[in-house]
Amino acid sequence: MFVFSVIIGLLAALGYASPLLIPHINSDQNDNSTTFKYAALGDSFASGIGAGLWVPDDENNTIDGRNNICARMTKSYPYYVKESFSERVLTEFDFIACSGDVLDDIDDQVTKVNNTKKDFVSLSISGNDFGFGDVVRYCVYPFKGMTDAPSDFQKACDDRLSQAEAKIGDASIWARYREQIQLIQDKILLPSPTGHLYITGYARFFSPEGRDGDECDRKNFFSFCQWDIPCKWVFPLKMRWATRQKMNELVLEVNARIQAEVIEPLGGNSSGLHFIDVDPNFEGRRFCEPGKTIWGDNDGDVWFHHLFSELEELGEWFGPASPGAQLVANGTPQAKGMSLQELLSQTQPGGTPVDDIDLRWFWDKFQQSSVFHPKKYAHQVTAGNITARMAEDSFFSGVFRK
């Protein structure tokens, strides 16, 4: 039988875990111990872009050669979940989540999961389907000289917000979401009550305590350039309260619809489907919090990456246009098991030693793609939420009992 401390039991019952108290799931030392298999699917909020270092390919049970190009990171919540199990208990960990993926990509992700069905699957998906990236690009970080720079920056922002709202209200997207959940249940998840799928929501980016005329309302989001000249011309949009409010509202609407349009119609908890609400974890830790640095570049109390946050991973990222992307894209034999240093030396003239890349700049694609994604602290707490729920669900479903 599994042995849980009183603390872990309380955390499981409350559905909460602090960053430093992620339940560690272990078993008695015997040959008949229960074991688990876990797969992590989804988009960049699951892959953990910007949080930690690339996951080494040899640590991923399903080596597809895409750990770098998908930005699967060592301080993502799936990796923290994996770390909460002893190696003896967690016999399979398939980290398939990929930055940039949309609902339609779940088909491909499912095919990459190891053949055996899983006890646990986690999923974060749909932000890209609703165009959240475009909203951030045109409402938070627009500048003169950007590709397709609009003539009216505020209108371009408002248009992206309206487009995102329309997509969130599109019934066909939610129908597709339900189809993909059913695919996961059918193809890679053990049947309920043994199999459990944990679907995370998203977190509001900005403090809900803002107001018209506050400090954030008066500044652009390029923290290094706040003078009237030339900054006002180059970076014309202030981080208006109305924009922040709307972005927050869209996040809450997505969370509500994941529950109402996906989880509940498919049976909810009784069918092994669980919503993990991450938004409360960010209380007091969002952008534009009163009394804090509004950008929170490297502030441990702001849990989203900003354009100027210092990232731990300094190595080359094989984005779509980067050298080595083709080599990595399809998990070719040359890429499998090859170190980043070896890949760089084979795909760039003369090689670019990783040690020589000592700083990321705001024009770096990996830096740009990490903005408005959770920092490691947020991933720790999300992992705590999930592992506490795993412990609770597995205990009450009888998995822990002989």
Kindly report the backbone phi and psi dihedral angles of residue 274, in degrees, each rounded to the nearest multiple of 5, phi listed first.
Answer: -130, 135
Residue 276 CA to residue 259 CA, distance in Å, equals: 10
pLDDT at 341: 42
Q: Domain limits of the chain? A: 36-132+171-203+255-315+365-400
Residue 193 CA to residue 204 CA, distance in Å, equals: 32
CATH of domain 36-132+171-203+255-315+365-400: 3.40.50.1110
pLDDT at 32: 46
Of 326, 324, 310, 295, nearest in space to 364 by CA: 310
Global confidence as pTM: 0.84
Of 151, 16, 19, 33, nearest in space to 87 by CA: 33
CA 391 to mean position of chain CA atoms: 22
pLDDT at 345: 42
pLDDT at 199: 99
CA 15 to mean position of chain CA atoms: 20
pLDDT at 23: 54
DSSP state letter for 260: I
Within 10 A of 148 (CB to CB), how many other CB atoms are there?
A: 7
Report the SS3 class of residue 386: helix
Residue 346 CA to residue 333 CA, distance in Å, equals: 14
pLDDT at 26: 54
Token output for 238: 């202030």
Which stretches of the chain score pLDDT less than 50?
1-21, 27-32, 62, 320-321, 323-358, 399-402
pLDDT at 33: 63
